[in-house]
Amino acid sequence: MNEFDDKEFTLTDKDFEQIRSFVKQHTGITLSEAKKTMVYGRLSRRLRKLRIPSFKEYLAIVARDDSDELVNFINAITTNLTSFFREEHHFDYLKNTIIPQLRLKKNSDQKIRIWSAGCSTGEEPYSIAIALHESLPDIEEWDIKILATDLDTNVLAHGENGIYDIERISALSPERKQAWFLKGRGAQQGSVKIDSRLRNLITFKQLNLMQQWPMKGPFDFMFCRNVVIYFDKDTQKILYNKYANLIVDDGCLFLGHSESMYKVCDRFASLGHTIYKKIC
């Protein structure tokens, strides 16, 4: 008997596998079997709101090419969810394009400044730090600082602590696991600890984006993914312009999978895959 058979909606194994496939395809996040109850709780709200009687029918709507529900589906699943190298194409672009450009451009002062806004529990800024280490063999000669901010002080404390359940790195390559995550001494059982070489690049700070910002910039590039989607268009316009004021000319801003500047801000040019370059 399925453990969800006696609930309001039946979530079959087939339904859950389809959900996992959708989430992996659109966000890069791998949902473990342990997330099944969470998935049920979050998506059942969408079924009630849309008055859909089953997950099977709901998923058929999500899968349609012309469906607007995909964004709601992804947002329901990914709220407060993050992962190392989420949306890996962003980090590929960072390693293959941005960092090589900065290496040439900044060869004299060797100074790089980065902002991870809405950093949650820290996986994003640590992924940025790994990409920098993998792309700059002489990184010890560089002056690099990553500012990681979030409204929630609890998730910031988690990120600053740098200890994660071992399942959080299950999707990473063996090489990355071995290079950047410590097991045993210094980490709790069943957990891994971030290597100090990464932690030393990052400063975690509490910040409400709706209040005054203490930082002056400029930042060479910035990640602000799955944050502005929760604001209305007028507020998004204000935020995008404030970001532009703090990003260097030709610097890049990375947005989330369902975010866009279309008809909101004209100070950035789209490079595709929710990567934007500042143009004015």
Task: Show which residues are catalytic.
Answer: 42, 150
Tokens of residue 233, six digits: 């268009």
Q: Is 12 helix (H, G, I), strand (E, B) or coil?
A: coil
Q: Rounded to the nearest 5°, which phi and psi values hold at 248?
A: -65, 160
Strands annotated E in 73-209: 111-117, 143-150, 163-165, 181-182, 191-194, 202-206
Tokens of residue 258, six digits: 């369902």
List alpha helices for 87-139, DSSP H. 88-93, 99-105, 123-135
Rg (CA), the chain: 20
Question: Could you tell me if 243 and 224 are in contact, meaning their C-beta atoms sit under 8 angstroms apart?
Answer: yes
Classify residue 146 as exposed, middle or buried by CB count within 10 Å of its CB (0-12, 13-18, 19+). buried
Residue 181, C-beta contacts closer than 8 angstroms, at least 6 positions apart:
164, 169, 172, 192, 193, 194, 195
Q: Go through 241-266 and write b for each residue having 16 or more CB atoms within 10 A of its CB, e for each that does not.
A: eebbebbbeebbbbbbbbbebeebbe
Please state, in angstroms and rounded to a whole number, the distance separating the CA atoms of residues 39 and 37: 5
Question: Could you tell me if 208 and 152 are in contact, meaning their C-beta atoms sit under 8 angstroms apart?
Answer: no
Please state, in angstroms and rounded to a whole number, the distance separating the CA atoms of residues 243 and 263: 16
